[in-house]
Each structure stands twice: as structure tokens, then as C-alpha cells.
Structure 1
Amino acid sequence: MHIVVASTAGFCFGVNNAVKIVFDLAEKSEDKVYTFGPIIHNEQVVNKLQEHGILAINSPEQVSAPSKVVIRAHGVGPSVISEFEAKGIEVVNATCPYVEKMQRLVNKKYNEGYQIIIIGDKEHPEIIGITGWCNNTAYIIDSIEQVKTLPNIEKNICVVAQTTFIREKWEKIIDSLNKRFKNVLKFDTICNATDKRQSEADKISKEVDMVLVIGGENSSNTNKLFEICRANCPETYKIQTASDIPPVDIKKIKKIGITAGASTPDWVIKEVIHNMSELNKQDLEMSFADAFESSLVTLTTGQITKGRIIGFNLNEVYVDLGFKSDGIIPMEEFTDDIDFDPEKSLKVGDEVDVFVVRVNDGEGNVILSKKKVDAVKGWEVLEDAFENKRPIAVKISEQVNGGVIGYSHGVKIFIPASQISDRFVKDLSSFVRQVVQVQIIEINKQKRKVVASARIIIERNKEFASNEIWNNIEIGKVYKGQVKSLMDFGAFVDIGGVDGLVHLSELSWNKIKHPSEVVKVGDEITVYVIDFDKEKKRISLGFKKKEDNPWVSAIKKYEVGNVITGKVVRLVPFGAFVEIEQGLDGLVHISQISSVRLGKPGDVLKIGQEVQAKITELDAEAKKISLSIKEVNPIDPKGAKKDAPVAADEELPTEHKEDMTNTIAENLNSLND
């Protein structure tokens, strides 16, 4: 049997560059490193990165600073990068140069007014990323039939292609677009490496009896290679690893071709070639049945092996092991996640590592456990995290006496009640189903005991945040904070690891008796720094907005000579305070109430009475408004005889002058507060 290996098989330049960037960061970076989505569409590479502590995330919400996020080879839209940078996350762009070039092209033509059309798979990450560079306005098609479904487009059209698209299909679709539209500007963005890979696959598949296409299940270029080879050679198989090689009848198959997608690492290709070479050494007279039987794996109890999911229900997961019988994983042996949903989380074709519990359960079934494998690997991860004091994520599954139980990497972890938070928590059940970051404080593999603390992480983060606050604080700086507690004199607000006080007088322009009239515990509010003392660790905050100051609006709304309608809110010996609007009071001197001399304002006025008065003085800077009821409609006591007008200063009893001064000051201060 002759084996023909494509010279273009394996990593292309862009993929190789992306993988190299991530592995370099894994070795050198002090910060936590993530990839946005799988760095490439290859399960083996992703698993190897996980072994180095690098996990794939799907949204900016899953990470926090300080950390680094590597943008996958497929690229992303600009909004994704902006979201990471807004959170203070360092972005390392490993986008393939060909894809990056297309991003710039699409963005340029979009800004010039072109309608963008992309030929490719609309679900592929590369295409999703490209559309972000034209504000998600592109039409995405992948067949001639879809050209007919496009709306009438009057403006100029710019057409690009997915870098891994089949050239023959591209040319047919372009021809169809040119027939329908007159203003089509095309850019051939199919990668040269893709062209060569597809051309070589086409040539080899016409000359062999069987083709093996190696690559990830979701790899676009691998699927296109399979499509090309299958058209020429019916015996074409898509595999991910050497364990997927189908049975080969070496009596019929004399020549085998091997190619691989751009995301397939060389060690996987070498393993496939090695296995085929070993098969080639077998007796050429071996029957197909013998060859198939010899290709089956052998299993023993306690063995850890790989399998592929071939089906599942709510109770069991069925796994192909390459054994004469399929394996069964009872659902309780698949995961400890109390929110696990098989319909959402499992997919036929996924590869899983399993522990062989029993080779034969009496009915010929192989009983497996995924949890046992996870636990074996998990202990290594947790021991490393313990030694290096690295945080881990734990999903809480239940409340127990003295704390909560959670799971991480398949291992049960206990978090004492005193370590679940930096504050006293009365009801621990609120943490069930939550994922919390913890640090392991005790581990004993022999006793299967792991104790962890979320409090250490919270306090460490608070200390970091506190240092950030104190190093950068300045008067006037604005923060978003959360109301932590209320006191009679004000509200304490957490502005990110440090509490500041918003005094009662800084909560509202109106006079209030308690902070609860304005805010409540848990409210997210925006505050600004009025003053601070680094030595005493005190911060004074303001909440009321300057533009809401009633005295500012008073200048715009009122002027001397205006007649207003107000309500009497306070009576004093020398006059009455009238509320013009909420937070804005004016003083009617006793001499400006009636056309006759009054003994006291209460002779003709009462609290809550509505009156009309003219503004005789308005001093916003001194927060003073003088009013006259007498000049609009004087209020005289019943049966009173009108006397000659009396000047206010002349007739005010001497003993009341000092009272008036003190009361005005007191009233103005209350308005100020």
C-alpha cells in the first residue's frame, strides 16, 4: 500500500503564528492569559493550551483585569476589542494577516459608501468578525441560489470571500453577481495557502483509492478539503486524530492520500502517517475481517481512554470506544454540575476522556465514568493552583453545616462560612449555583479533602482596588459606587474597594431628615469627590448635582417684580417664609404682609396658606429672596383701621432685630443644607 502525503498539509502561516503567540505568552506572561474563542479550530491544540492554563472564553464578561486576551486567528470585530480595552484587559491580536487585510479593506469600502457582500459561511467566526468592520450591514451568501435572494442594491457593491472558500464556487457566484448587478467591485481574498492546499487535494484525490482528511470538526478549510476530495474519491474520510482512522481493507486499498486542514498540528499528522505505515507492514493476505478485528481496542477495568459521543438521553451518554461494544456513562457519572443540561451541553461527535468502571455489566455493556477522569486530572490542577496560590473557579452546588460545597475540575471543595465573603453572610443558600473565585488554603489528596477561601481573593482584590483609588484620587473626580449603609448623618458608598461618606447635606438640595429619603442600600449611584484625607483614609463625597440647585434655576426663572404664588411654610416674629417651589423659599417681612401694623404674622397668616407675593429682591449668591404680599394684595385683620405706612426698619422692635438676624441665618443654612 502506497501512502501519498500532501506537501501543504498542516499549519498555514497565520495559524502557526497565532499558536506560537499563545504558547509564548503561556511561558512568559505573569498575568492570566485567555483566548477569545478557540485560538484555532483544532481540539488537540485547544486541549494542549488548557494544560498550560490557557482557557478559551466567549465574552468580555468572563474576564477581569489584570489579564491578557489573545484574539483568535479568525479575528473579531472592533467592538469586541473595545469591550476588552474598556475593562482594562490587554488585547494581543493574533488575527491571521490575510484576515486582518480583509478587515481593513471591508472597513475602508464601507466608509466609502459601498454595500459589502461576503461570500462564505455566515456562522464561521472569521465571517462574524469581518461583518463587525462594516457595522454588521454585510449580506452573506455561499451559493448561486442565494444571489437571487439579495434585494435590489442601487449603490456600489464590494465583494470579498472567506479566506478558505473554494475558488471554483467563488468564481461561479461572482459571475452570477455580475449578471444581476452592474456595479460590482470584487476582491479575491481567498488565501494563497488555501488555494494551494485545495489544488493539491484535488490532484491527489484523483490518483488514490482512499483519502484521509485530517482536521477539526468545525474547521472550515478542513470541511472544504473533504468536499473537494469526496467529489473525486468516494472513499474519503474526515478524521481528527489517528484513533479515527476507519478500517482499511489492504487488499483493495493500494494507494492512500493524506491531507490536512490549516489548523491541524504536525504531531497529529505524524501520528496518522505512523499508524498507516504500521498497517502497511501487515500481511498483505490478511482478510478484511481480521484487519477490522485487530483494529479494535482492548479495554481493562480502571483504564482511562478516549471515546466519541454517539448519542445521549436524560439518563445516559453513549460513547464509541473503538471497542466491540459501545460504552455507557450514567448521567450521575458525567458531571457534578447541578445545572448541567444534556440538550444544551452535549453534542454527538464530541470527544471525551473516560474511566472504565466495568468492561461487562452482565449485558455486554461497558460502564464508564467521566467524573473519575476529571477528578484525576483535577487533582493535578488543584495541587498546582495550591502551590502557586493561583485562584480557581468553583461552582457552588449545596449548602452544608458550616459552609458550602462546590466543584472545580471534577473535585469536591469545601468553603467555610467564614471564608465565603469578607462580610458576615446569614443565608449561605444564596451562593448555591453561583461561580466564585477562590484560593485553596488546605489540600490533602489522600483524604480527598480540599478547603478553599473566597474571602482571600475578595480582600486581595479590594486591597488592589483600594490602592488604585488612593493613588489616583483627586477632588472633583467622578466614581460609580454602591450604597453600603445608611446613618442618620449620611450614606456610606463603596467606590471600588474604598468607602466614602455622602453627608446628609450633600444628598439633596431639599432639606431631608434621613438618607433613606433619597437612596437605599444596594443602589448604584454616581458620586464625586469633595475632599479626602489619605492619612486618615477618609473621603467626602457629593451626590447632588450642581445643575439641580434650585438657586441656579431661580436666576433663570425669576426676577425682581415677578408675582409668584406660594405656600406659607414657616412663621417667625419678624415675618413669614413662603415656599416658591421645592427647595426655594422667600421671606415676607412682617411690614410687607398687611397695610396696617401687625402684632405678629400669625394674626393674618397660617402654615399651609396659599398667598400671592411680589419679588422685591433676589440675591442667588446670598441665597436670599425678599417678597411683598402687601404690594399685590395686602392681608389685613378683620375690622382693622388702616394706618399710615410704616418703614420696616423703623417699626421692628429692637428685641426682635437680633432674633430676625439669627432666624434668617438659620433658615438660609437649612436651605443650604
Structure 2
Amino acid sequence: MTKYLPEGKVFNSPENRFYIQSADHMAEAMAKGIILEGHAVMCTTEHDLVVELPFGKGIIPRTEGAVGISEGTTRDIALLSRVNKTVCFKVNDIITDEKGVTAILSRRAAQEECLEKYISKLQCGDVIPAKVTHLEPFGAFVDIGCGLPSLIPIDAISVSRISHPNDRFFNGQDIYAAVKNISGERICLTHKELLGTWQQNASIFSAGETVGGVIRSVEPYGIFIELAPNLAGLAEPKEGVSAGQAASVYIKALIPEKMKVKLIIVDVFENLCFPSKINYFISSGRLNKWEYSTKESSKTMVSIF
């Protein structure tokens, strides 16, 4: 099942390089039904994708560009947006004429195999690799295998609230996610359960330390500052502070029974940093139940899969 990865993950693999280097090797891949990857360099006026190959070129006809194109359930923007990116495909034919060698390819066939042999077998709680493809205010769209999309709603990205998914992710980022629910072929994902419980995150910090954080919200009673994607603390109100700014903060206290972190703001400045590298506490396996809250706390935060 691990071979059905997001597009781009096998492009530089020894196997992929071997099969796309010549027409003979690609014919072998066709006979074996192997899914390969190449670089899409153009989308024609007919919306056929042109794939660059070492020995010639590949053509993915419009109707073979993605599952749902023929039926009208997938829009042509799904093809246009693949230009200058890696695409997966199976080989349907290899034609040699006076113009050279052209491979006739099908991305749709690769996606159909991925649906049948991988995605249809996923269960709630499965932790899977994914790649961020684009970000919207309501969530992050990701590739979960062979270019097939899924969504992580914004409230499922992290425990610490963010104003937009680009606070946490960037396009092209490799991440992990867990299957939250399944409706037919539609898979909805969650991400926050992989980023650690309150106790796991709090154990990284100690009272008396001064650390960096990001201001996530400014309220009349205080300022919420994120120390980690699944851990935020509260500092006293301060003028001239706004959400999105970076801060250096002194950790006054960590209180497990209340799941609170008391902070004192040392300095505030503009946040010019790229989204931080994500540190996963879970990156494989299957979740049945995940509890964020501490044993001492009266407040319960639980995810059931």
C-alpha cells in the first residue's frame, strides 16, 4: 500500500529513473502495469498534458488526465494546475514515427488503481502520508496518493487556533494526517491528533525559560501565544500587540491540572518566519482514541476514530 504515495514522492527513485530512461524500459513498465512519474511541461489547447521524457515525450490525453474528467465531476483546472509539476501515470502505448517517440499515458488509470487498492481500504484512524496542494481559508487540500485530493478542515489542523491554514502549512509540504471519516470515495482528514497531547508538549518546556512564540489572539483579558502547534499560553494584556506577531515570552508557570501555561511577554515583533517544521509525535499506525487533556484536568478533549 505504501507505493501509492502523493505525486512527486517517487520521481527520483531508482525504479522510476530506470523505467523512464528509454522506450524499451517504458514498454516493460507498460507490460507490468507499473505506475511511473514524470514532469508535466505543458497543457495544450485541448487540455492534453505533455510530459517530458528522456527519450521523447509523453502525452496524457484530457480524458486520461484525472478521475472524473470524462464524467464532468472533476474540472479541467485539475489538469492546468499540474503544469510544471510531477504527475503519475501508467503507460498505455508507445508510438514511434518520423517525429520521434511518443508515449501515450494515463494518469486516470493510476488514480483508479490507487482508489481500488489503497484508498478504498483505508479505515478511520489510519495515519497516512500526504502532500499539501493548496490552501483555502476553510482548510488545507492535500494529495493522499496519485494526485487524489482530501481535505483537512482548519479546526482539525492543530489544537492552537490559527487564522488561516498558511499559518501552519505551505504548498508542496510533506505531512502526515489521520483518516477522520469516510463517505464513499471521499476521505476527510485530521492532523492535530498527531502533534502531541498537552502533557507531551508541555514537557518540552520548563518554568523560568524564555522562549519564542506566535501571538494567535488578543482578548480583553489576555493574549494567547502559541508555543507549539498543540500548546498555547496566556499572557497579561499589553498595548500595541496584534495576532500574527512573533514574541519572546517568559514561562511563569505550567499548570497540568488546568492545562494552562502562564506567560510574560518580553518582546513583540513582526513575524517574518516561514511556517515552522512540524514535529510529529505520531507518524504511523492507526488511532482508535486520542486524548489531549491531562489526567489531572477536569476538562476533557478526546477524539474517537
TM range (shorter): 0.3 to 0.5
Higher relative contact order (CA 8 A, sep 6+): 2
User: As a proportion of its length, which structure holds more helix?
Assistant: 1
**Higher-Rg member (1/2):** 1
TM-score by length of 2: 0.48
After TM superposition, the score normalised by the length of structure 1 is: 0.25
